[in-house]
Amino acid sequence: MDFVLDAGQKEFRAELRRFLSSELTDEVRDRHRDLSEWDGWEAGFAEEFRRRLGARGFIGATWPAEYGGGGRDARERVIFAEEMEYYGAPAFDRSVTYVPDAILQFGSEAQKSEFLPRLARGECTFFLGYSEPDAGSDLASLQTRAEARGDTFVLTGQKAYSSGADRADYGWVAARTDPEAPKHRGISLFIVDMASPGIRIAGHETTAGWEHHSVAFDAVEVPRDALVGDLNGGWRVIMGAIDTERAALSAPGLVRAQLDRLVEHCRETPAEEGALLDDPAVADRLARLAIESDAAQLTSYWVASLIARGERPQHETSLALLVKRETARELDVATLELLGAPGSLHPDAPGAPLGGAVLREYLDHLYFHFAAGGFDITRNVIATRGLGLPRG
Q: Is the pLDDT of residue 368 over 90?
A: no
Q: Strand, coil or helix: what is 157?
A: strand
Q: What is the mean pLDDT of the chain?
A: 90
pLDDT at residue 369, as a whole number = 59
Q: Is the pLDDT of residue 319 over 80?
A: yes
CA distances from 106 to 29, 126, 152, 283, 381 (A): 38, 16, 20, 49, 23
Which CATH class for the 128-237 domain?
mainly beta
Handedness of CA 380, 384, 390, 391 (dihedral sign): positive
pLDDT in tens, 156-202: 999 998 988 999 999 999 999 999 999 999 999 999 999 999 999 99
Amino acid at 216: A
DSSP 255-297: HHHHHHHHHHHHHHSB-SSSBGGGSHHHHHHHHHHHHHHHHHH
Strands (E), 151-186: 152-159, 170-176
| 361 in catalytic set | no
pLDDT in tens, 45-73: 999 999 999 999 999 999 999 999 999 99
pLDDT in tens, 67-97: 999 999 989 999 999 999 999 999 999 999 9
The fold of the 7-125 domain, in CATH, is Butyryl-Coa Dehydrogenase, subunit A; domain 1 (1.10.540)
CA distances from 132 to 161, 162, 175, 215 (A): 8, 9, 11, 9
- Alpha-carbon distance 13 to 194, whole Å? 35
pTM, two decimals, is 0.91
Q: What is the mean pLDDT of residues 98-122?
A: 97
Domain extents for the chain? Answer: 7-125, 128-237, 250-386
Answer yes or no: are the C-beta atoms of 197 and 154 closer than 8 Å: no
Q: At what angle do helices 280-308 and 315-339 cross, to 10 degrees?
A: 160
**Active-site pick, 82, 132, 245, 316:** 245
pLDDT in tens, 230-261: 999 999 999 888 777 777 788 899 999 999 99
Q: What is the CATH number of domain 250-386?
A: 1.20.140.10
Closest CA to 35 of 81, 88, 92: 88
